[in-house]
């Protein structure tokens, strides 16, 4: 809604304001305290050179674009600077000669991510060739002739190892929580007990949470747990928790990472029988959609989907194809892949680690451009740690090239992604600097 109206306003106003003033190639750091402009309360259409700096704490978001719109035009059309504005800007408390003079945006906040973890019986009963050293299944290593293959492990064993790695790796950059589905005390004693989920989640979102998280989930060598796959109840509880977080302490973006080895069942509307709760749950997609739309008017919550060895085949118990079900969940969650498998479907432990590490890395290197996004008629230049970055298209960013790309397709762009080495550099230094520069008008 905001995007549409902003875009409309910009298009409607273009003819009134043309030619727009040009401005200097580069902007000096504006001093947020002394840079009072001759601001009329206005649309910000002249704010064509705006700073954002992740290293600065000054200023407030959403206050960009406060120069005048008193009809300033570059009458002599030779210096690229609005004649009326140039005079006025010269009068303003030491501001450099800019098209705009606005506070820097605040430092990006760490994202909040709930790991929504499948703790169903199959995670502890089914084993897999986690390191892919025995594709023919004869018990002999395919890699080292004559040597026995490594023993298969449970899927939970692999998931636990991956969670341990990523929780430690991202401990200082991401606020993590964990939701198990079903709950720790679920059992196969009754259909109800097979589907119970704890709410709030077992591990509340918090910074520096790795040790707490690992102490609160079943251990890697656990073999005796049972239960269904109440993913919808898990997602609902995790979304409730994210919405309830303090907006100031947890000001970053909010995400759920659903990691599962099968299609969701345990529908809240199911008949209370084992056959009933074993059927695919049609409600999961709707709940994920609701979270993305902004639960109770709150910020959108993305759901990212990682499957553990999901087969593309009809499942008689679910009465559905689990791969198709998870494709639908990924589509609804806001960050689906393209193609036949639109979620990350890991067939071994390395792929599971790569998928989860990649997704959390991507989230932590996605930087918002302020409440109103990028102003119209501007280009964006970014520097990490003092080095200018190349703008990339999204596919080059996905492939790990160094640089940045927009994280969204529509204008005004609301956020950017740092890609490849640029993401690593930002994570190491925390220094991101950016400028919106005006596109010179003819």
The angle that helices 349-364 and 420-429 make with each other, rounded to 10 degrees, is: 70
Among residues 327, 346, 186, 333, the alpha carbon closest in space to that of 261 is found at: 346
Q: Which CB, 158 or 265, lies closer to Ca ion?
A: 158
The two most distant CA atoms of the chain are separated, in Å, by: 84
Query: How far apart are CB 221 and Ca ion at their closest, in Å?
Result: 17
Tokens of 360: 């959390």
Q: Which residues pair with 306 in a beta bridge?
A: 259, 344
> Cα separation of 116 and 83, whole Å?
58
Q: Which CB, 136 or 338, lies closer to Ca ion?
A: 136
CA dihedral 243, 247, 249, 252 (to 10 degrees): 80
Q: Which CB, 138 or 246, lies closer to Ca ion?
A: 138
> Cα separation of 14 and 289, whole Å?
36
Q: Which CB, 68 or 309, lies closer to Ca ion?
A: 309
φ and ψ at 52, to 5 degrees?
-135, 140
- Which residue, judged by CB position, is nearest to Ca ion in the bound state? 150
Query: How far apart are CB 147 and Ca ion at their closest, in Å?
Result: 10
CB environment 204-217: b (16+ within 10 A), e (fewer): bbeeebbebbbebb
Contact 239, 256 (CB under 8 A): yes
Query: How far apart are CB 152 and Ca ion at their closest, in Å?
Result: 6
Contact 232, 285 (CB under 8 A): no
Query: How far apart are CB 122 and Ca ion at their closest, in Å?
Result: 19
Query: How far apart are CB 305 and Ca ion at their closest, in Å?
Result: 25
Q: Which CB, 140 or 401, lies closer to Ca ion?
A: 140
Query: How far apart are CB 136 and Ca ion at their closest, in Å?
Result: 4
Query: How far apart are CB 148 and Ca ion at their closest, in Å?
Result: 9
> Cα separation of 376 and 420, whole Å?
28
Query: How far apart are CB 129 and Ca ion at their closest, in Å?
Result: 4
Q: Which CB, 129 or 435, lies closer to Ca ion?
A: 129
Query: How far apart are CB 158 and Ca ion at their closest, in Å?
Result: 11
Q: Which CB, 348 or 424, lies closer to Ca ion?
A: 348
SS3 of 317, please? Answer: coil
What's the full length of the chain, in residues?
Answer: 442
Query: How far apart are CB 223 and Ca ion at their closest, in Å?
Result: 18
Q: Which CB, 68 or 134, lies closer to Ca ion?
A: 134
Among residues 391, 397, 392, 386, the alpha carbon closest in space to that of 433 is found at: 386
CB environment 181-197: b (16+ within 10 A), e (fewer): bbbeebeeeebebbbbb
Query: How far apart are CB 218 and Ca ion at their closest, in Å?
Result: 22
Q: Which CB, 129 or 362, lies closer to Ca ion?
A: 129
The contact set with Ca ion (CB under 5 A) reads 129, 131, 133-134, 136, 138, 140, 142, 149-150
C-beta neighbour count of 88 within 10 angstroms: 17
C-alpha R_g of the chain: 26
CA angle 248, 375, 108 (to 5 degrees): 30
**What sign does the dihedral 155-162-322-258 (CA atoms) show?**
positive
Q: Which CB, 87 or 147, lies closer to Ca ion?
A: 147
Q: Provide CB contacts within 8 A for 189, sequence distance 6+.
A: none
Q: Which CB, 140 or 193, lies closer to Ca ion?
A: 140
């Amino acid at each position: 809604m905001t995007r549409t109206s902003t875009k409309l306003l910009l298009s409607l106003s273009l003819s009134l304001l043309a030619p727009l003033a040009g401005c200097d190639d580069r902007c000096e750091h504006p001093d947020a305290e002394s840079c009072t402009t001759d601001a009329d309360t206005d649309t910000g259409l002249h704010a064509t050179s705006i700073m954002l700096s992740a290293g600065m704490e000054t200023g407030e978001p959403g206050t960009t674009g406060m120069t005048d719109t008193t009809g300033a035009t570059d009458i002599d059309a030779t210096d690229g600077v609005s004649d009326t504005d140039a005079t006025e800007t010269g009068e303003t408390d030491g501001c450099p000669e800019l098209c705009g003079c606005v506070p820097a945006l605040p430092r990006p906040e760490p994202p909040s991510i709930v790991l929504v973890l499948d703790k169903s019986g199959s995670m502890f009963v089914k084993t897999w060739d986690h390191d892919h050293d025995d594709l023919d299944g004869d018990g002999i290593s395919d890699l080292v002739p004559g040597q026995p293959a490594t023993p298969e492990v449970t899927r939970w064993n692999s998931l636990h190892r991956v969670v341990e790695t990523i929780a430690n790796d991202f401990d200082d950059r991401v606020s993590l929580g964990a939701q198990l589905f079903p709950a720790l005390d679920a059992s196969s004693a009754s259909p109800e007990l097979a589907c119970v989920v704890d709410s709030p989640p077992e591990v509340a979102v918090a910074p520096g949470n790795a040790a707490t998280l690992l102490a609160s989930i079943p251990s890697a060598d656990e073999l005796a747990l049972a239960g269904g796959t109440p993913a919808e109840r898990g997602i609902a509880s995790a979304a409730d928790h994210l919405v309830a977080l303090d907006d100031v302490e947890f000001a970053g973006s909010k995400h759920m990472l659903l990691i599962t080895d099968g299609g969701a069942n345990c529908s809240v509307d199911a008949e209370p029988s084992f056959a009933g709760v074993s059927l695919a749950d049609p409600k999961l997609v709707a709940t994920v959609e609701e979270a993305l739309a902004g639960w109770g008017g709150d910020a959108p919550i993305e759901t990212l989907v990682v499957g553990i060895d999901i087969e593309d085949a009809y499942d008689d118990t679910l009465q559905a194809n689990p791969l198709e079900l998870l494709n639908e969940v990924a589509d609804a969650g806001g960050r689906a892949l393209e193609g036949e498998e639109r979620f990350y479907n890991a067939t071994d432990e390395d792929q599971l680690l790569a998928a989860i590490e990649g997704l959390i890395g991507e989230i932590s290197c996605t930087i918002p451009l302020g409440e109103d996004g990028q102003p119209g008629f501007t280009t964006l230049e970014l520097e990490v740690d003092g080095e200018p970055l190349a703008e990339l298209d999204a596919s080059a960013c996905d492939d790990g090239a160094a640089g940045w790309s927009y994280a969204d397709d529509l204008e005004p762009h609301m956020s950017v992604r740092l890609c490849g080495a640029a993401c690593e550099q930002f994570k190491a230094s925390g220094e991101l600097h950016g400028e919106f520069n005006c596109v010179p008008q003819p």
